[in-house]
A = this chain, B = another copy of it.
Amino acid sequence: MDLEPFFKPKTVAVVGASRKPRKFGHVIFKNFVDSEFEGKVYPINPEADTILGLKAYPSVVDVPGELDLTVIAVPAPKVPSIVDDCVTKGVKAAVIISGGFKEIGGEGAKLESSIKKKIEGSSLRIIGPNCIGVYDPVNHVDTLFLPKYRLRRPKQGPIAFISQSGAFGAAVLDWATSQEIGISKFISIGNKVDVDEVDLLNYLAEDPHTKCVTLYVEGISRGRAFLDAAKKTLKNKPVVVLKGGMTKAGARATMSHTGSLAGSAQIYEGAFKGAGIIAAQTVDELFDYARALAYQPVPGSQKNVAIVTNGGGFGVISADEISRRGLGLAEFSSNTLDRLRANLPDYAIPHDPLDLVGDADVERYRMALDAVSSDPNVGIILVIVLLQTSFIESDVVDAISEASLASGKPMVVCTIGGDFTQMLVKMLEEDQIPAYPTPGRAVSAINSLIQYRKVQEDIERRNQQSQVNSP
């Protein structure tokens, strides 16, 4: 695979590595030196002998042996000649961090065209320019030039994230870290002089570390190829896209941001739906959906939702949210009803939403989750746990995780509160149970699971038809 050198390079050169600690090139070089990156890393700087104790080379062509990846962080006018050097050296992949290209028009656009020409016919692949590059916690590739005390790096996990906007990507990575959300690969694609979302989607379709691909894009230039790549990916893993510039005002803004033609919202919406791509409307939704899809199993043919709660109000609001999205609550089977009646206190009424009442303890949750999740009339379970009472302890996380594993049915949690709640949310995250602060967000995430189930049903149906039709 030709994109492998971006994510699994054995040798890396950083052009613009510097002894000045604030310089982007220095930060990137130091990221490699300080990390568990197992390959070799070379600083490229014609004016230095050594940087951070490592021998510096005047140019990539001077580096001994093969070079898989070059990261370029020097002013735009200097970039084309470095690209020449990379081609001469036979470098396989380059990430151009530098800005000052197409996004500023005029001279910048000319510089970018010249780079495009230089790599035609060569085997050099480029990510960028005008991007923050690649973060791969599996192989410890980190070209993010933003300091770690500001942009904290998330741990490894099942979600890949492609962002056309660097700042958007950085903000989301930082937030993901604080939420204990794991990332398989992050790629900021910037001006896309070469590698674009289509190439990356094709690559991530086969990436064993990625269970769900998320994208923030403003313009998609190769529409047909994108839909094909998405369809290929969707056989194995869901694709969630947040498209910027879906309104007139937004589209106008994309022009000056990434120089993208945003295109018609209707066309995008129709095309995404047709291909089975899950469209996020908001920033929240992008990762709300991704966490449900990456962590939880796809629902079976039974799609009704059981709500289990210790707060009646949140049960009511969740039932509202389920109805609004055209989803269904479950009718519990007589077995389940018998079991609930036998084990719940008199003042708890056994129906869906199942209100375990404010004095519910972990044992009551355990019993109810087991009863409900083994009910054939229940396809998906929404567990609401409000932790402000002292009846409930943190081992409710175990009860939820165990019921989730035992039933094989998707389970999502809704909980809101202060420090204690936040701790439990992180424990749930560890166990790959997605937790949401409001019923609306939890039910939206459930809806994305059902959407992906329907996508898979469509794929299955098409496969069967094509088998019937083939001789």
Give me the interface of A with B, judged by CB distance under 8 Å.
22, 99-100, 103-104, 146-147, 149-152, 163-168, 170-175, 177-178, 216, 218, 242, 244-250, 252-254, 256-258, 281-284, 310-317, 319-324, 329, 346-347, 349, 351, 353, 355, 358, 386-390, 415-422, 437-441
Asked if A358 and B171 sit within 8 Å, CB to CB, the answer is: no
- Residue of B150, B324, B351 near A247 (CB, 8 A) is B324
Q: Which residues of B have CB within 8 Å of A164? A: 313
| Max chain B Cβ within 10 angstroms of own Cβ: one of A172, A256, A314, A353 | A256
Asked if A440 and B178 sit within 8 Å, CB to CB, the answer is: no
Task: Report the separation of the CA atoms of residues A172 and B416 in the bound assembly, to the nearest whole angstrom.
Answer: 7
Extra contacts besides A244-B313, A248-B323, A284-B441 (14): CB < 8 Å: A100-B347, A167-B313, A167-B358, A167-B389, A170-B388, A174-B417, A175-B418, A244-B316, A244-B320, A245-B316, A252-B319, A253-B316, A256-B312, A281-B440
Asked if B174 and A250 sit within 8 Å, CB to CB, the answer is: no
Asked if B250 and A320 sit within 8 Å, CB to CB, the answer is: yes
Asked if A218 and B316 sit within 8 Å, CB to CB, the answer is: yes
Task: Report the separation of the CA atoms of residues A282 and B323 in the bound assembly, to the nearest whole angstrom.
Answer: 14
For A323, the closest partner residue in chain B by CB is B247
Q: Which residues of B have CB within 8 Å of A175? A: 416-418, 421, 437
Asked if B256 and A163 sit within 8 Å, CB to CB, the answer is: no
Task: Report the separation of the CA atoms of residues A323 and B310 in the bound assembly, to the nearest whole angstrom.
Answer: 39
Asked if B257 and A312 sit within 8 Å, CB to CB, the answer is: yes
Task: Report the separation of the CA atoms of residues A282 and B25 in the bound assembly, to the nearest whole angstrom.
Answer: 45
- Residue of B22, B170, B387 near A150 (CB, 8 A) is B387
State how many angstroms separate the Cβ of A329 from the closest Cβ of chain B: 5
Asked if A312 and B165 sit within 8 Å, CB to CB, the answer is: yes
| Max chain B Cβ within 10 angstroms of own Cβ: one of A147, A171, A415, A419 | A171
Q: Which residues of B have CB within 8 Å of A174? A: 388, 416-418, 420-421
Q: Which residues of B have CB within 8 Å of A347? A: 99-100, 103-104
Task: Report the separation of the CA atoms of residues A7 and B114 in the bound assembly, to the nearest whole angstrom.
Answer: 73
State how many angstroms separate the Cβ of A276 from the closest Cβ of chain B: 23
Q: Which residues of B have CB within 8 Å of A171? A: 311, 314, 386, 388, 415-417, 421
Asked if B388 and A420 sit within 8 Å, CB to CB, the answer is: no
Task: Report the separation of the CA atoms of residues A437 and B172 in the bound assembly, to the nearest whole angstrom.
Answer: 10
Q: Which residues of B have CB within 8 Å of A256? A: 312, 349, 351, 355
Task: Report the separation of the CA atoms of residues A322 and B251 in the bound assembly, to the nearest whole angstrom.
Answer: 12
For A282, the closest partner residue in chain B by CB is B440
- Residue of B216, B281, B316 near A257 (CB, 8 A) is B316
Asked if A150 and B420 sit within 8 Å, CB to CB, the answer is: yes
Q: Which residues of B have CB within 8 Å of A104? A: 346-347
Residue pairs across A and B with Cβ atoms less than 8 A apart, 19 shown, are: A99-B347, A146-B390, A150-B388, A165-B312, A165-B313, A167-B311, A167-B389, A168-B311, A168-B313, A175-B416, A244-B317, A249-B319, A249-B320, A249-B323, A250-B317, A252-B319, A253-B355, A256-B355, A257-B315
Q: Which residues of B have CB within 8 Å of A246? A: 320
Task: Report the separation of the CA atoms of residues A388 and B310 in the bound assembly, to the nearest whole angstrom.
Answer: 38
Asked if B419 and A178 sit within 8 Å, CB to CB, the answer is: yes
